[in-house]
Amino acid sequence: SIYDRRRPNCVNVLVTTTHLIPALAKLLLYGLGPHFAVENVYSASGGGGGPSTGGGKSGGGGTPGSASTGSSKESCFDRVVQRYGRKCTYVVIGDGAEEERAARQMNFPFWRVSGHSDLRALYNALDMGFL
């Protein structure tokens, strides 16, 4: 896993275009629930904000699952930065152009994952302290 007990100062944050409830269900179904605190799951779908415990859109104050416009992965990344601050190290991991573009906008490094070998390389980079 990316987060483990050896890295107590790290958290995993999930930003997805899936609606919030199905995203949380998938985390549980795939056994990833222990690696993502529910308040660290953000939905960039048109129908839901995030984090899952409230907060809504930037400057908003809506509730999770509330209708909203202009939701994007970049706005979710912005909310994550508002929550944790600029002094943190962020790494965006994904397979699509949207998250790569959002990472570039936020000046975050992007790690493309297209297959199992990419995940192994990511694990090695984390294990060796490169990220």
Identify the CATH number of the domain in which residue 102 sits. 3.40.50.12350
**Residue percentage of the chain with pLDDT more than 90:** 55
Q: Is residue 1 part of a domain?
A: no
Over the stretch 91-101, which tens digit does the pLDDT of each residue have?
A: 999 999 989 99
**pLDDT band at 113; cut points 50, 70, 90:** very high
Mean pLDDT of all residues belonging to the chain: 80
Over the stretch 16-30, which tens digit does the pLDDT of each residue have?
A: 999 999 999 999 999
Q: Is residue 9 part of a domain?
A: no
Q: Is residue 36 part of a domain?
A: yes
Averaged pLDDT for residues 5-12: 74
Per the listing, tokens 């090695």 go with 124
Over the stretch 52-70, which tens digit does the pLDDT of each residue have?
A: 544 433 333 333 333 333 4
**3-state secondary structure (DSSP) of residue 16:** strand
127 belongs to an annotated ligand binding site: no
Give the list of residues 6+ apart from residue 90 with CB closer than 8 angstroms, or none.
77, 80, 81, 106, 108, 109
Per-residue CA distances from 70 to 36, 53, 56, 75, 112 (Å): 25, 20, 12, 8, 25
Q: Is residue 8 part of a domain?
A: no
Structural domain range at position 37 = 14-127
